[in-house]
Amino acid sequence: MKLLITGGAGFIGANFVRYVYINHPDVAITILDKLTYAGNRVNLTGLLKARVRLVVGDITDESLVDTLMSQTDVCVHFAAESHNDNALVHPKEFLQSNVIGTYTLLEAARKYQVRFHHVSTDEVYGQLPLEPKSAKFTTSSRYAPSSPYSATKAASDMLVQGWVRSFHVRATISNCSNNYGPYQHIEKFIPRQITNILSGRRPKLYGSGKNVRDWIHVEDHSRAIWAIITRGHIGETYLIGADEQHSNLEVVETLLQLMGQPSDAFDYVADRPGHDARYAIDASKIRRELGWTPLHTDFKGGLAQTIDWYQQHCDWWQNQKRAVEARYAQHDQ
């Protein structure tokens, strides 16, 4: 199989490349990545060998995308601007990469009849109330994005649906919950708090800290995507989640405890505008139809492993820490 992976130098993309490289030696991988602030060649260390090549370029570049798609059997599309806080400041880049980029890929997939998998987020469904926790997003939930980022992801999902229906592109979509694990950019919640503690800063909780996210280890997300591209049904949407709902406050307290700090050694900071209260995924369809199940079922253990990873890879994040925190400080966060 010749696999084209967009955004393969980012957090989830690089973990997926590593997963495929290790588990499926018969697959030849081409990564298309612009290497934005969030993409890093170092995330692919040890992988850029005969079976994996990195093409540095933009998914909105029609001629480059045309050339690469003509050499592809299956395209897994991760590339996107991915951070909500950035979208509140610079939304245009999100429209360009997430919407025009997905359109550009779909047109090329259509031309060369490439099997296409679109990686999306649970945020397209908007927010759930904090209670009852049993209420979850399902594949019949209504699209109701509440932020500039999630609006662009919702738009890209709908483009995929339109290209399946009208042009018979062989595509699938997955909407996954919040990922954690190695190589996640330190602007994101869990790595920001871990690297705050490691660098003598206090963790920062937005608003009340009561907002709930449903966490999944990035390796389980990779395994789910592999199941979809090999066994999924064309035109279908799969929701991916590991049933790990935790408030942000609980997560910060657990990180502090695991890192030997008092459980109240954090600051409350300005809330995110439009901050979604809760996300939660009902993953019964992918469990039932594709036999997928998460293997990382010990969230606290997963956090401990993630702390170890950031501790052992200080040189991967240290140079960016000051600039990331300076940006947050401009918004009292």
Cβ atoms of 187 and 248 within 8 Å: the answer is: no
Closest CA to 214 of 192, 193, 187, 240: 240
11 binds ligand NAD per the rule CB under 6 A = yes
Among 34, 77, 136, 192, binds ligand TDX (CB under 6 A): 192
80 binds ligand NAD per the rule CB under 6 A = yes
Q: Which 286-305 residues touch ligand TDX, going by CB under 6 A? A: none
Among 15, 30, 72, 82, binds ligand TDX (CB under 6 A): 82
Cβ atoms of 149 and 206 within 8 Å: the answer is: no
Q: Name the one range near ligand TDX by CB under 6 A: 35-43, 50-58, 79-87, 312-320.
A: 79-87
Q: How far is the CB of 15 from ligand NAD (least distance, A)?
A: 8
Cβ atoms of 95 and 152 within 8 Å: the answer is: yes
13 binds ligand NAD per the rule CB under 6 A = yes
The phi and psi torsions of 212 (rounded to 5 degrees) equal: -115, 135
Residue 11 or 317 with smaller CB distance to ligand NAD: 11
Within a 10 A sphere around the Cβ of 42, how many other Cβ atoms?
11
Among 154, 155, 205, 229, binds ligand TDX (CB under 6 A): 205
84 binds ligand TDX per the rule CB under 6 A = yes
Helix, strand and coil percent figures for the chain, each rounded to 5: 45, 20, 40
Report the partner that residue 206 touches, choosing among ligand TDX, ligand NAD, none (CB closer than 5 to 8 A by kind).
ligand TDX
Residues catalogued as catalytic: 122-123, 149
Q: Which 117-156 residues touch ligand NAD, going by CB under 6 A? A: 119-121, 153
Q: ω into residue 132 within 30 of 0, thus cis?
A: yes
Q: Which 81-100 residues touch ligand NAD, going by CB under 6 A? A: 81-82, 97
211 binds ligand TDX per the rule CB under 6 A = yes
Report H helices in the chain: 11-23, 62-69, 84-87, 91-94, 101-112, 148-167, 189-198, 218-231, 248-258, 284-290, 299-312, 314-330
34 binds ligand NAD per the rule CB under 6 A = yes
Report the partner that residue 248 touches, choosing among ligand TDX, ligand NAD, none (CB closer than 5 to 8 A by kind).
ligand TDX
Measured CA distances, 119 to 32, 99, 128, 280, 301 (Å): 15, 13, 21, 17, 26
18 binds ligand TDX per the rule CB under 6 A = no
Determine the 3-state secondary structure of 12 from DSSP: helix
Binding site for ligand NAD (CB under 6 A): 6-7, 9-13, 32-36, 38-39, 58-60, 78-82, 97, 101, 119-121, 153, 176, 178-179, 185
